[in-house]
Amino acid sequence: MKIAIYPGSFDPITNGHLDILERATSLFDKVIITIARNSTKHPLFTEEERLKLMREAVKQYKQVEVDSFEGLLVDYCRTKKAIAVVRGLRAISDFEYELQMALMNRKLNPHIQTVFLMPNERYTYLNSTIVREIARLGGDVRDFVPPVVKAALDKKFNKKKR
């Protein structure tokens, strides 16, 4: 059984993340999409809220599991018996940071491979910060996030349904 880990902040999960996840499911028997608890970020959604949104957003994928973790990614991979880490590459600007992480993870555990997947080009300019910003300022995010996330953003920012 080939298991991959798809880590991130997912604050919140977007259609760009789902695009990467779907591609990963065609390569691996099981994909664990997991929230890395990161003390340097101040998330809009709590971990519990993010997990709930992710579970709802990925429920159509049978081989996908939703989780969260603390500590080193390579240690988490080992406990989950994963052989790979999946990361999305949206643009050249992602590359340097991703290369550094991939090489450091390889140094920490040479048995775990990092697999980079390119999302559909319509998601290359998307990130969670931009989605949060648009929602906060009353813009329409329905093209960028699953309906359950749009509803949660509307609720967070106390907006009436459009």
Which residues contact ligand COA (rule: CB under 6 A)?
7-9, 11, 14, 16-17, 20, 36, 38, 72-73, 88, 90, 101, 104-105, 119, 123, 126-129
**In this complex, which beta carbon is closest to ligand COA, that of residue 17 or of residue 30?**
17
Residue 49 beta carbon to ligand COA: minimum distance, rounded to whole angstroms: 14
30 versus 88: smaller Cβ distance to ligand COA: 88
C-alpha 145/C-alpha 162 separation (Å) is: 15
Residue 38 or 63 with smaller CB distance to ligand COA: 38
Chain position whose Cβ is nearest to ligand COA = 16
Exposed e or buried b per residue across 83-96, where buried means at least 16 C-beta atoms within 10 angstroms of its C-beta: bbbbbbbbeeebee
For residues 159 and 79, what is the distance between their CA atoms, to the nearest angstrom? 41
| Nearest-approach distance from CB 160 to ligand COA, in angstroms | 26
